[in-house]
Amino acid sequence: MAREEVVTIKETNMAGHPADPVAPPGAVFMDVSVCVERDVSIRVMTWRPQRPVSEAPIIFVAGWVSAVSGWAPLLKVMAAVRPVYYIETREKRSARIEKKDLQPEDFSIGRIAADLISVSRQLEIAVSNTTVIGSSLGATALLEALKGGELTAGAAFLIAPNSDFPAPWHIRWMLTLPAFLYHGLKHIVLWYVRNFMVDVKNEPEQMQRYTETLQAAHPQRIKLSAQAAIDGRYEVWPHLETVRIPVALAYAPTDKLHSATNIRLIAARLPRAEIIVCPSNRYMHRPELMADIEAFMRMTYYSQCSHQGPFYRDSMMGQRIIRGPAEDDGLTKDDKSS
């Protein structure tokens, strides 16, 4: 894994950013820029509650080109009781990139994982009682960073991580086109996502979030990051067994963008995994998910019990039931027959 070339500095009050996009009650907000590589700095938003239930930090990493507004309802309740460090990955517009001649490898998941390690060490939050939380590509980058203990943390709560990034031929063809054509092509991409990748009937908010984030995405960075993941044929599987901390994997059966089968396979390869089945993708962005996160953290940090291999339970929306351990490779009979 690549290491940062420049170790330093954070800069407060970044111009052009809103004062506080989440505004949790009773929390102090800071907006900083952290240098992770020569000519590359990424945005970190932090909230410190005045009356925390715990000083143990939470690191939050959202998905590919995701906007903080999509996570504001959950962050609002989270940051009201615990210190939260929201790291925006380098493909987002908020990153300051002065580096010339950018290549796909500058936006690879390995490079993003190295950024997360660098930021966490510089802000001194790479500690044993830190809980890392991520979604989609952010969750995958956290898994990559946690391999071999490179990123120090006590537990991970990962929402619908990607195991790989398959794409049909026409998406691969679009990636060969110049970035300036993106604004026209994004309508084709959104049409494809709406009709083939998102359950619009059951998950309308998920489609709305993708529409908003793709409309606002940086054309060159989104192209290069997609090339790195798709053309680079990234897969999460190597060295998953070296992630030794407890990991919760949350997913929703209605979420067609993230493979439930592959999430269960990830759990099967992790030494200490728990699977949380949620009612919808919308639920995983809502304040209600905080009950699942708190339950997982209590079990991780305060319980004397431990287990090996994946366990299954329903989200706190329904009954909280330990279902495991899973058989063999972590798949149910339905998965094995599909």
Q: Dump pLDDT digits (tens) for 36-94.
A: 999 999 999 999 999 999 999 999 999 987 889 889 999 999 999 999 999 999 999 99
pLDDT for 268 equals 95
How far, in Å, CA of 260 to CA of 254, rounded? 10
CA distance 155 to 137: 18
pLDDT of residue 222: 84
In one-letter notation, the amino acid at residue 104 is P
pLDDT in tens, 104-154: 999 999 999 999 999 999 999 999 999 999 999 999 999 999 999 999 999
- State what percent of residues in the chain have pLDDT above 90: 55
Give the angle subtended at the CA of 283 by the CAs of 282 and 289, to the nearest 5°. Answer: 140
- DSSP SS3 for 28: strand
Q: Cα–Cα distance between 169 and 282 in angstroms, integer?
A: 30
pLDDT confidence bin for 314, thresholds 50/70/90: low
Domains of the chain (ranges; CATH) run: 10-166+234-337 (3.40.50.1820)
**267-285 residue pLDDT tens:** 999 999 999 999 988 899 8
Q: Which amino acid is at 281?
A: N
Rounded-to-integer distance, Cα 309 and Cα 48, Å: 35
pLDDT digits (tens, 9 = 90+) for 173-212: 777 777 777 666 666 666 666 665 666 676 677 677 666 6
- The encoded tokens of residue 250 equal 């949350």
What pLDDT, on the 0 to 100 scale, is given for residue 286? 92
Q: Can you say whether the dihedral through the CA atoms of 46, 47, 52, 58 is positive or negative?
A: negative
Q: What is the pLDDT of residue 42?
A: 97
Element spanning 30, H or E: strand 27-37
230: pLDDT confidence band, cut at 50, 70 and 90? confident
What is the pTM for the complete model shown?
A: 0.82
